[in-house]
C-alpha cells in the first residue's frame, strides 16, 4: 500500500504556513532535520503541561508516570529497529553524541598504539573527528575506504584496508551528501574475519528505510530522532549487550551509579550506566509518538515514496543545462537526496535565490569537507525528501533553479 503525502501533510502544521515574503514553504532540507507531526508536538507539550517530573527517582505519581513513558519508548525503539533487547538501546543527545560515547568508552579502553581504525572518505564530521581525536591520543592509525566515481564504496582492496591490525570500522550506511546507500555486507563480513568491531552511522538511513539491527550483525548503530519526525536533542546508540556491559561509563553523575563512597563508586546496570544525568525526557516521549507515526505509515512505503520522488527529480533536473548531479544513477542504491552544483554559480547564491521562492534546501559542504575536497568543489546544493514531500515540491524546486539560471544569465550578459 502506497502512502498519500497529501493526507500526511495535514498532520504537519508547519507545512501549511506562508513565509514572511508571502511564499508558501517548500521544505526540502530533511537530511538536516525533519518536520514534526502534531502528535509529536502534542506529546511534548503534554509532558510539560501535565506530568513534568524527573524520572527514575521519584515515588510520586508524576515521576512514576514520566518514567513509565520514557522506558516504554526504549522498548518501542528496540522493537522498531529489531534490536537485541531494550537494554541495548542507549538514549543520547543525537548521532554525534552516540559516536563520541563509543569513542570515549569502548575506544579508549580497546584502541592501543599501532591499532587501525577504518573509516571512509565521505564520512560526516561526526563520524570522523571523534576518531581523529582518539587516534591522536592512542597513537593509532586511520585508514580510509575510497569511493568510486558514482560515490559508492570502492571495495576492490578491502582486504588490504581491513587487516588483522584493524580494531574498528566506522562507516555510514547512507551518505548525507549524495544519498548513496551502501551495501555493508562485504564490509561486515570482512570485519568478522579479522575479529574487529563495526559501528554504523545510521543518521540518514534510519529515517528512510526498514532497519533490522540483529540481522545486520553490527556492534554499534547510531542515529538521531530529529531526522525521523522526533524532537531535537534525542539520539540512540544501539550496542550489542555484551559489548555495552564491558564498556566503562563516559559521564559520571546522577542515575548512573549503584553506590557512591567518598573515594570510589560502583555503577548501575545497563542502560543507566551510560545515561548519566537528567535526559531529554520530553524529547524521548515525543520520539515515541514519532515511531508510532512512522510505524503506521510503514518504512517500506516511505522508502518507495522517496524513490519515486528522487526518480522524478532526477528526470526533471537532468533537463536543465549546466547542472552537475552527484551520486549513483542506480535508484536501488540511492535514497531521497539530490545533490548538485550549477556551473558558474556558487551554491550559497543558489540557496539564497531558492529561499526567495520559499524553497528550503541545504547548501555548503554538509559537514563533509574531505569529500568536497575529493570532488574538487566548495560545496553542493542538496534537496532531500521525506514522506510528506510531493511532486509539486519537486516542480517548485525545478522552477526556482530555472529562475536562478535566468538571473545569472542576465547578469552575465550585462
The C-alpha angle with vertex 201 and arms to 32 and 224, in degrees rounded to 5, equals: 45
- Classified as helix, coil or strand, 63 is helix
- Which alpha helices (DSSP H) does 213-325 contain, by range? 213-216, 241-246, 281-297, 299-317
- Rounded-to-integer distance, Cα 40 and Cα 46, Å: 10
DSSP 8-state code for residue 23? P
Judge whether 77 and 89 are in contact, CB under 8 Å. yes
- Rounded-to-integer distance, Cα 278 and Cα 413, Å: 60
- Rounded-to-integer distance, Cα 51 and Cα 348, Å: 44
State phi, psi for 266 to the nearest 5 degrees.
-115, 155
Indicate if 85 belongs to the active site: no
**Please, which residues have CB within 8 angstroms of residue 155's CB and are 6 or more apart in sequence?**
145, 186, 187
- Rounded-to-integer distance, Cα 120 and Cα 138, Å: 20
Check 85, 207, 367, 381 and give the catalytic one.
367
Active-site residues, by number, are 367
Amino acid at each position: 500500500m502506497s502512502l498519500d503525502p497529501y493526507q500526511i501533510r495535514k498532520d504537519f502544521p508547519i507545512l501549511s504556513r506562508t513565509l514572511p515574503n508571502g511564499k508558501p514553504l517548500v521544505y526540502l532540507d530533511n537530511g538536516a532535520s525533519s518536520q514534526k507531526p502534531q502528535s509529536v508536538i502534542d506529546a511534548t507539550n503534554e509532558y510539560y503541561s501535565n506530568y513534568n517530573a524527573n524520572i527514575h527517582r521519584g515515588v510520586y505519581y508524576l515521576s512514576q508516570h514520566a518514567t513509565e513513558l520514557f522506558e516504554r519508548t526504549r522498548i518501542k525503539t528496540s522493537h522498531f529497529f529489531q534490536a537485541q533487547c531494550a537494554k541495548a538501546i542507549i538514549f543520547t543527545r543525537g548521532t554525534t553524541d552516540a559516536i563520541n560515547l563509543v569513542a570515549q568508552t569502548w575506544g579508549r579502553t580497546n584502541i592501543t598504539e599501532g591499532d587501525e581504525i577504518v573509516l571512509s572518505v565521505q564520512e560526516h564530521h561526526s563520524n570522523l573527528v571523534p576518531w581523529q581525536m582518539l587516534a591522536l591520543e592512542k597513537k593509532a592509525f586511520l585508514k580510509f575506504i575510497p569511493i568510486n566515481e558514482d560515490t559508492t564504496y570502492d571495495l576492490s582492496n578491502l582486504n588490504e584496508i581491513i587487516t588483522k591490525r584493524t580494531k574498528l570500522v566506522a562507516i555510514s550506511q547512507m551518505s548525507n551528501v549524495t544519498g548513496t546507500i551502501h551495501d555493508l555486507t562485504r564490509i561486515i563480513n570482512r570485519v568478522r574475519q579479522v575479529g574487529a568491531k563495526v559501528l554504523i552511522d545510521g543518521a540518514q538511513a534510519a529515517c528512510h528505510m526498514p532497519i533490522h539491527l540483529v540481522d545486520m550483525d553490527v556492534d554499534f548503530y547510531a542515529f538521531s530522532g530529529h531526522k525521523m519526525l522526533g524532537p531535537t536533542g534525542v539520539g540512540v546508540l544501539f550496542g550489542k549487550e555484551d559489548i555495552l556491559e564491558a564498556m566503562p561509563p563516559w559521564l559520571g553523575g546522577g542515575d548512573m551509579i549503584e553506590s557512591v563512597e567518598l573515594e570510589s563508586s560502583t555503577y548501575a546496570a545497563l542502560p543507566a550506566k551510560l545515561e548519566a544525568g537528567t535526559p531529554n525526557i520530553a524529547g524521548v516521549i515525543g520520539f515515541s509518538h514519532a515511531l508510532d507515526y512512522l510505524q503506521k505509515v510503514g518504512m517500506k512505503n516511505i522508502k518507495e515514496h522517496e524513490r519515486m520522488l528522487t526518480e522524478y527529480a532526477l528526470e526533471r533536473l537532468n533537463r536543465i543545462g549546466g547542472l552537475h548531479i552527484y551520486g549513483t544513477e542506480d535508484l536501488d542504491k540511492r535514497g531521497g537526496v539530490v545533490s548538485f552544483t550549477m556551473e558558474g554559480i556558487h551554491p550559497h547564491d543558489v540557496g539564497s535565490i531558492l529561499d526567495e521562492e520559499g524553497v528550503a534546501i541545504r547548501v555548503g559542504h554538509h559537514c563533509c569537507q574531505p569529500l568536497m575536497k575529493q570532488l574538487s568543489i566548495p560545496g553542493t546544493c542538496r534537496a532531500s525528501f521525506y514522506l510528506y514531500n510531493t511532486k509539486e515540491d519537486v516542480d517548485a524546486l525545478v522552477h526556482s533553479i530555472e529562475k536562478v539560471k535566468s538571473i545569472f544569465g542576465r547578469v552575465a550578459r550585462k
